Amino acid sequence: MADLNELKYTYSLRLGDDAWILSHRLSEWCSNGPFLEEDLALTNLALDLIGRAQGFYKYAAELEGKGKTEDDLAYRRNERQYFNHLLVEMPNGNFADTIARQLYVSVFEYYFFNELKNSSDETFAALAAKTLKEVKYHMAHAVDWTIRLGDGTEESHWKMQRALDSLWMYTGELFEMDEVDNELLQQCIAVDVIALKAKWQEHIERVLKQATLKQAEDAYMQTGSRKGIHTEHLGHMLGDMQYLQRAYPDAKW
Amino acid sequence: MVVADKTKEDILKLLSQIADPEIPVVTIQEIGMLRDVNISDDGIEVIITPTYTGCPAMGIIEADIKALLHEHGYDATVKLVYNPAWTTDWMTDEAKEKMRKYGIAPPTHSSCGDIAAAEAEIACPQCGSKNTEVVSRFGATACKALYKCNSCKEPFEYFKCH
Ligand SMILES: [Zn+2]
């Protein structure tokens, strides 16, 4: 069995990566939002996620004990060393694509952090309690927009439906457990995500019904991110995100 | 360094004059961010907690704390803790009233579970009318939402309950 600190390091890194990569995606909306208030909303979500990533990266660095900072973890790794879910690296696409991604992710995170706040690890529990308060607002934002677009015009309806359908294949991964999850679950540190699947699905179904949209049909589910296997999109994104730190190592403001 | 002549209460009192950089009418103590002070042979350690995980004001607050204590001849370290998670329940009534006078509707409900219910009856800080509506849940800072008053027609910010 791997050392407990090593397992917690991996777990914290994964949670940091999920927040960090989604944060960067949302920040790409800055100055491109459909209107000013929405531009602010999306960048507000991005800011919450940066803060969350910082918390989990700090803890990961502490557990690793090699004197790294949260910035080293954010900027100094290659594609294969990131463990975020594939769903959060999906490009923004049009506004409906972004909202569909936000809906799937935020409903999942709502149930996830609701469990993680009871973790026997104090730091995970504290970060989860904090995050949960923020996620409630993220979820409300995604749900409102899903209903507004789904039950909106003919065009907004089909765009929303297409977005939900095309992202569906990346949602299967959210409910996978590997050896890290299982070993930490035995110690009451990690969340049993398999047990969250039914609640998540029911919640999504309820929202989609109200939005006059259909649940995507079950299809092949893509997987791999927890092993560092990503879609083509992550590398491009990291190229953009890490440019400054790579070109000017240790650059400071 | 000599800290023996000061008690924890003295230091807390000193720090309680530091204003929140984003809402300068209230202090970091009134808003509930200043949690504790530890005095040991190693010096002064100030414990603060963020309102939001990504609150960009934390860096400024840390610098303000260090600068103020330095002015009084102390070197301090500032530690950020997440546990227990900050809640708007820690905001004092005085702070809420100052905020309202400043033009920001203070948080009403205590650590709400139901966002929609909490948003339903926000009183306008200008005229007091509860005939108000949300323009956007996300304002100029993470902690505030944008509202408009249907009675006096003024836009205003609401400090979200958290
Ligand atoms: Zn009014």
Q: Which of A171-180, A186-195, B74-83 has the lowest mean pLDDT?
A: B74-83
* Chain A CB contacts of B137 below 8 Å: 41, 137, 140-141
* For residue B3, pLDDT beyond 60: no
* Strand partners of residue B132: B149
Distance from the CA of B55 to the center of ligand 1, in angstroms? 29
Please tell me the distance in Å from B82's CA to the nearest CA on chain A: 6
Q: Is B43 helix (H, G, I), strand (E, B) or coil?
A: strand
- Residue B120 pLDDT level (bands cut at 50, 70, 90): confident
Q: How far is CA A146 from the centre of its chain?
A: 18
* Chain B CB contacts of A41 below 8 Å: 136-138
Tell me the C-alpha distance between A198 and B113, whole Å: 22
- Residue A63 pLDDT level (bands cut at 50, 70, 90): very high
- Residue B40 pLDDT level (bands cut at 50, 70, 90): confident
- Residue A109 pLDDT level (bands cut at 50, 70, 90): very high
Query: Where do the domains of chain A lie?
Result: 4-247
pLDDT of res. B53 = 81
* Chain A CB contacts of B135 below 8 Å: 37
Tell me the C-alpha distance between B52 and A16, whole Å: 16
Q: What is the mean pLDDT of residues B45-54?
A: 89
Q: Which of A63-67, A157-161, A181-185, A247-251 has the lowest mean pLDDT?
A: A247-251
CATH class for the region spanning A4-247: mainly alpha
A168-204 burial, b for 16+ CB within 10 Å, e for fewer?
A: bbbbbbbbebeebbebbbeeebbbebeebeeebeebb
pLDDT of res. B112 = 60
Distance from the CA of B143 to the center of ligand 1, in angstroms? 21
Q: Does B53 touch chain A (CB under 8 A)?
A: yes
Q: Which two tokens stand for residue B159?
A: 């400090």
Q: Which of A183-187, B54-58, B135-139 has the lowest mean pLDDT?
A: B54-58
Tell me the C-alpha distance between B26 and A178, whole Å: 47
- Angle between helix A4-27 and helix A122-150 axes, rounded to 10 deg: 30
pLDDT of res. B119 = 75
The answer to whether the beta carbons of residues B146 and B135 sit under 8 Å apart is yes
Q: Which fold has domain B8-80?
A: GMP Synthetase; Chain A, domain 3 (3.30.300)
What pLDDT digit, counting tens, does each position of B93-106 carry? 999 999 999 999 99
* Chain A CB contacts of B52 below 8 Å: 47-48, 51, 134
Q: Round the average pLDDT of chain A to a whole number and report it.
A: 95
Q: What is the mean pLDDT of residues A12-38?
A: 96
Q: Which residue of A has its CA nearest to B49?
A: A130
- Residue B4 pLDDT level (bands cut at 50, 70, 90): low
Q: Round the average pLDDT of chain B to a whole number and report it.
A: 88
Give the number of other Cβ atoms within 10 Å of residue A54's Cβ: 23
Q: Does B120 touch chain A (CB under 8 A)?
A: no
What pLDDT digit, counting tens, does each position of B122-155 carry? 999 999 999 999 998 888 788 889 999 999 999 9
Query: Where do the domains of chain B lie?
Result: 8-80, 93-159
